[in-house]
Structure 1
Amino acid sequence: MSAGARWAVVVLVVAVAAVVALWPRSPDPAEPGAIPTRTAPTVDLDAARGKAALRPCPPGSPDAPGPQPLRGVTVTCLGDGRPVDVASTASGPAVVNFWATWCVPCQEELRVLDAYAREPGAVPVVAVLVESEEADGLELLAKLGVRLPAVADPADGVRRAARAPRTLPLSYVVGADGSLTQVTDPVVFKSVEQVREVVG
C-alpha cells in the first residue's frame, strides 16, 4: 500500500470517528436533566368514583362475619377506594355478583340487580369486578347508571376462595348462616322477579 493510500485510510477513520462522536443521541433517563419517557396519562380515580356515585360498601358486623371461605380476602371498595374484607361486605343474606367490563350479559344483569337492590326489603347486593381495571369498571357503572356497592378484585382472590367457576356473569346467594349457593337457574338474571325468586 502506498503512503498516499495509507493517509487516505487514516483520514477516513478519523472522519468516521468524528461523525459518531458528534451524532445527536437520546439522553440516558438516568442522567440528570434527561427528559423522561412519556407514559399513559394517569386516570383520576377520585373523579371516576365521584361520577359513578356508587352506594357504600356494606360495613359488616361482628355478629355476621360473612361466608367462612371469604374471610380474610381483602378487596378494594370501588366507591371510596378503601380496602375491605369481602366477607364482611357480603354477610348474609346477600347476593354476590361477579362481572367484568368486557362481559356483555353482565351489563344487563347489573341493571336488573341494581333495580332489585333498590326495592324495599331487598337483601344487599355486592358486585365483584374481576379481570378489569378499576377505572374501566367505574366508567361502565356510571354509563349504565348502576349504583350497586361494588368491589374490585384484580387478584381474583374472591373467586378462588369461593372455588367459583370462571364463567361470567356469575352470582351467589349468601345465606344468613354464611353459606354460599351458586345461582344456576337462571344463569343470567333478566328480571327483578327472578332475583326475588332466587333470594326467597
Structure 2
Amino acid sequence: MSAGARWAVVVLVLAVAGAVALWPRSPEADQGLPTRTSPTVDLAAARDQAALWPCPRAEGQGPQALRGVMATCLGDGQQVDVASAVSGRVLVNFWATWCVPCHEELKVLDAYARQPGAVPVVTVLVASKEADGLELLAKLGVHLPAVFHEGDGVRKAMRVPPRLPVSYVTGADGSLTEVTDPIVLTSVDQVREVVG
C-alpha cells in the first residue's frame, strides 16, 4: 500500500470517529437514563372496548396440527390451547389488521355467527400487534372470539398459505379443510354454504 493510500485510510477512520463522537444523542442517553419508548397500550382497556366473545375451550381433541399450540385469547388475555378452541365443527378465519378484504370478511363472519344454528367462528390474528387487532375489532363492531400468537405459531402449525384472509372448516374428527371457493367470504349466505 502506498503512503498516499495509508493516509487516505487514516483520514477516513478519523472522519468516521468524529462523526460518531458528534452524532446527536438524547439527553437521557447522556445521563445514563433509559431512552424514551412509545407509550404502553393498556390492553385491559382495549379488551373492554372490543368486548369480544370468550374463546371456546372444548373438551375434544381438535385438529392434530394445533394440539399443544398455545395462544392468547384476545377477549380475556388468557392462554388457550388452540386445538381446544377449534374442537368440533368450527370456521377458523386468519386475518391481519392491514388486510383490507379481512375487514369486510370479519363483519360478514360476525353477522353469520349471530344467526341461529350458526357453526362457531374463531378468528386468528396474524402478522399484527395484539393492541392493533383489538382496536380494529372494536372499530368494526366485531365481537367474534379471537386468538393471537405473537410468533404466528397458529398459522405456522396449520401451514396456512401466504395470503389473507384464509379460512378453514374443522370437522368433528379434527380434519381441516381450507375454504378456496370463494377466497373471501362476502355474504352470510356464502358462509352458510361453506360450512354446510
Instruction: State the TM-score, normalizing by the size of structure 2.
Output: 0.83
Distance 1:139 1:198 in 2: 28
Q: 2:57 — aligned with what?
A: 59
Pairwise CA distance, 1:37 = 1.9
Say yes or no: does 1:137 pair with 2:133.
Answer: yes
Percent of residue pairs identical: 70
Distance 1:26 1:105 in 2: 44
SS in structure 1 of the partner of residue 91 of structure 2: strand
1:69-84 equivalence runs, <5 A: 69-84=65-80
Pairwise CA distance, 1:158 = 1.3
Q: 1:149 — aligned with what?
A: 145
Q: 2:182 — aligned with what?
A: 186
> Which residue of 118, 125, 133 maps to 1:122?
118
Q: 1:88 — aligned with what?
A: 84
Which amino acid is 2:48 matched to?
A: G
**RMSD between aligned alpha carbons?**
1.5
Distance 1:181 1:26 in 2: 56
Say yes or no: does 1:176 pair with 2:172.
Answer: yes
Q: 2:19 — aligned with what?
A: none
Distance 1:28 1:133 in 2: 28
Which amino acid is 2:39 matched to?
A: P
Pairwise CA distance, 1:26 = 4.9
Say yes or no: does 1:38 pair with 2:25.
Answer: no
Which runs of no fewer than 5 residues in structure 2 stay unpaired?
1-25
Pairwise CA distance, 1:199 = 0.6
Distance 1:39 1:158 in 2: 29
Pairwise CA distance, 1:162 = 1.1
Structure 1 ranges of 4+ moved more than 4 A: 25-29
Distance change (3 Å), C-alpha of 1:106 and 1:26: closer
Say yes or no: does 1:163 pair with 2:159.
Answer: yes
Instruction: State the TM-score, normalizing by the size of structure 1.
Output: 0.82
SS in structure 2 of the partner of residue 88 of structure 1: helix
Distance 1:94 1:151 in 2: 14
Distance 1:38 1:153 in 2: 27
Pairwise CA distance, 1:131 = 0.2
Which runs of no fewer than 5 residues in structure 1 stay unpaired?
1-24
Distance 1:115 1:27 in 2: 50
Which amino acid is 2:69 matched to?
A: V
SS in structure 1 of the partner of residue 137 of structure 2: helix
Q: Is the 8 A contact 2:105 2:185 kept in 1?
A: yes
Q: Is the 8 A contact 2:93 2:165 kept in 1?
A: yes
